[in-house]
Amino acid sequence: MNRIRSTVPVSVAALLIVVLAFSAAEAFESPPVTEPVRDTNGTVVGQAEIAQLGELEDPKINESSGLAFSRRSEDIIWTHNDSGDGPFLYAFDLAGRSRGTFAVERAPAYDWEDMAACEIDGVAHLIAADIGDNKVARDFCTLYIVEEPEVGADISHTGKLSIVRRIDFQYEDGKHDAEAIAVDADGASIYLITKKSKKNLPCHLYQLDIPSESTTNPVTARIVCEVDIRKVVAMDISRDGSRMIVLTYDEALEFERAPDESWGTAIQKPPRQLPMPWRAQGESICYGPDNDTLYLTSENTPAPIWRVRTVPVSPAPAPAEENAEGAEPQPQH
């Protein structure tokens, strides 16, 4: 599959310089910038509105590495830090204001790299993915599932979360480093894409069915298909199950799935390349409730909160009709 390399839009980079002049404690929303959405051949197939909504207020969020939009609130996003922090989940609103810090009890944080939100049996849950393995040496990786706590609109909460299910797993074909997970719309399966493999072997999409209880022995993540994408750092699936976003250091690729189509088939089709704002080290992305809007943060501080919303392209005007001699028709008097 041919790829086009993502470039930083000059207008978006200029916008970043302007918004960074604001105080980090002050909520703001920059004017949106419209950039083209392209296919892998470079053809414009849509538009995206890009706007910075604010900066993350909590200084403890210094390596925002995963994002998940709340299933209990229309204006709360969850994140966690990369390796080096404890087992903490942080809530913030769409302006970046802190809304809570929660510790996941009895959950070591070896290398948390991504997270997801989903509903299991009608209850909102969060999944923290301890799947980083830079040295490709871990015997197994772990997913921690907790019930999503309620977070107030105006008060920053603190608390502890009990693990509902701990899932230790291994990959079907050996050890891998990964930084991206997503949960399918039905809440039954988790998907992962590996970041790199030993001896530069191909990366793959894996599927892991969510067990009904914690695992006492590692379960197996099965290969779905090979993917021609390198350095994947985040992914998500829209709530309606029709879209998958895959983020790398260079680009953001969106795959669309038809009804009754598998993700193994959908991810082999040519994706759309969405324009992304410049970030110091962008390794997180998630869909909002409307299935069209994406939210992004960045590692390092101050961490921005960006919104990328895809919008329809206005149809081109129909060409004027010509008469038999090739001239445009004259008005009738």
Sign, Cα dihedral of 64, 67, 71, 76: positive
Nearest one of 135, 8, 106, 111 to 63, comparing CA atoms? 111
Q: Give the chain's end-to-end CA distance (angstroms, integer).
A: 57
Domain assignment of residue 40, given as a range:
10-311
- Within 13 A of 121's CA, how many CA atoms are on the CB side? 6
Would you say residue 99 lies in a domain? Answer: yes
Asked if the structure places residue 166 within a domain, the reply is: yes
**Is 2 within the bounds of a domain?**
no
Cβ–Cβ under 8 Å, residues 93 and 100: no
Contact yes or no for 233/285 (Cβ under 8 A): no
Domain count, the chain: 1
Q: Is residue 1 part of a domain?
A: no
Asked if the structure places residue 325 within a domain, the reply is no
Q: What is the CATH number for 260?
A: 2.115.10
**Is 316 inside any structural domain?**
no
Containing 19, the helix (H) or strand (E) segment is helix 10-19
Residue 125 lies in a domain: yes
Strand (E) positions, 121-202? 123-130, 141-147, 157-161, 165-171, 177-183, 189-196
Q: Residue 206: inside a domain, yes or no?
A: yes
Structure tokens at 286: 């998630």
What is the token pair recorded at 273?
A: 């390349």
Q: What is the pLDDT along the chain (333 residues), one digit of tens a residue?
A: 444 344 444 444 444 444 443 444 445 678 889 999 999 899 999 999 999 999 999 999 999 999 999 999 999 999 999 877 899 999 999 999 999 999 999 999 999 999 999 999 999 999 999 999 999 999 999 999 999 999 977 777 889 999 999 999 999 999 999 999 999 999 999 999 999 766 677 899 999 999 999 988 999 999 999 999 989 999 999 999 999 999 998 899 999 999 999 999 999 999 999 999 988 888 999 999 999 999 999 988 889 999 999 987 665 566 665 554 555 555 554
Q: Considering the entire predicted model, what is its pTM?
A: 0.86
Which residue in this structure is represented by tokens 């991810």? 267
